[in-house]
Amino acid sequence: MVNQLLEFKEIIRSRQSLQQRQPDRQTRKLLLYLFTSTRGGFTRLRIIIHLLEQPYNTHQLAKQLDLDYKAVQHHLKVLEKNNMISKIGNNYGAIFHLSNFLEINIGALDEAIDKLDQKMNHIKVYL
């Protein structure tokens, strides 16, 4: 997973424009919450990275990520509800792509990836 996070950082950095604006405080908090403060953060980040490449439907994402269809469906709903992705169409054939909001704030994912990396590599020691 650590190698994947490094790859994700490179992908995100390659997508940033030279005129990248700093996200506002609320946007930063939302991205950190969605990708670092919940159990499904890493999976949601994997979905976003795939959607950076091209739009997918739920079935295609489930195959690409080697995850259960219902799990991917759940994460897509969370991402859509929080304006990270947009959907074209309905039901089974709906296609998902990054929202304009996330495209504008894509650079803020860099910080979320760093936090997720720290969290995943932090070993809790109980005395």
- CA 92 – CA 113 distance, rounded (Å): 30
pLDDT at 103: 87
Q: Where are the domains of the chain?
A: 2-121
pLDDT tens for the chain, 127 residues long, are 657 777 777 777 776 654 456 778 899 899 999 998 888 999 999 999 999 999 999 999 999 999 999 999 999 999 999 999 999 998 888 999 999 999 888 888 888 888 888 877 765 555 5
Q: What is the pTM (predicted TM-score) of this model?
A: 0.82
CA angle in degrees (0–180, nearest 5) for 6-10-15: 145
SS3 of residue 71 by DSSP: helix
> Domain 2-121 falls in which CATH fold?
Arc Repressor Mutant, subunit A (1.10.10)
Cα gap 16→106, rounded to integer Å: 7
Helix (H, G, I), strand (E, B) or coil at 31: helix
Confirm if 62 and 77 have CB atoms less than 8 A apart.
no
- Alpha-carbon gap, residue 45 to 84, rounded angstroms: 11
How does strand 56-57 pair with strand 95-98?
Answer: antiparallel
Copy the structure tokens of residue 98.
Answer: 């990054």
Q: Give per-residue pLDDT as tens, 28-62.
A: 899 999 998 888 999 999 999 999 999 999 999 99
The pLDDT of residue 107 is 81
